[in-house]
Amino acid sequence: MTSLGVNAQSFANHLLAGIEAGGFDPEEFCPGVIKDKETGRVGFTILQNPWEIPEDFESNESHKDTLLICCFEDGIEWLAKEHSSKMLITEQQPPSMLAVLFLTAILTNNSIQPPVCPCCEAEAQVK
């Protein structure tokens, strides 16, 4: 089995412990370890909000794109090809802080959407 790096493992540990402490079964969130086929990066993936899964989830890629996230060593990414922005892991924003952010969203039943790139947003408004 592929093992996670320090940051991804820290995110996973904090998030799963919080989910469990909140009275939920972590398995409901489909946690797992994935390896990016293109880059070889290994990350922790989880479903942000199983209660938002629509009936057409399996056939609707847009739902998967916003509900599935992955924590790689350098940050959180949404599993969507059109989203190139991510939440970076830094000294000021460690994996534990990001785990708390996502845990809060889970406990309040609000999925976190991918951050919008200011340049892409400005370009979309021009069109």
Neighbours of 58 (CB within 10 A): 10
Write down how long the chain is.
127
Give the model's pLDDT for residue 55: 60
CA dihedral (67, 71, 77, 78) in degrees, to 10, reads -20
User: What's the pLDDT tens digit per position in 22-63?
Assistant: 999 999 998 999 998 888 999 999 988 776 655 655 545 444
CA dihedral (17, 22, 24, 29) in degrees, to 10, reads -60
Distance CA 41, CA 91 (A): 21
What average pLDDT is seen over the chain?
82
Give the model's pLDDT for residue 110: 83
Angle in degrees, 0-180, between the axes of helices 6-21 and 95-107, rounded to the nearest 10: 30
3-state secondary structure of 58: helix
Predicted structure pTM score? 0.81
Q: Are 15 and 46 in contact (CB under 8 A)?
A: yes
Q: Are 116 and 31 in contact (CB under 8 A)?
A: no
CA nearest neighbour of 15 among 30, 34, 35, 36:
30
Give the model's pLDDT for residue 123: 61
Average pLDDT over residues 111-122: 72
Q: How confident is the model at residue 102 (pLDDT cuts 50, 70, 90)?
A: very high
Give the model's pLDDT for residue 114: 81
Q: Where are the domains of the chain?
A: 6-126
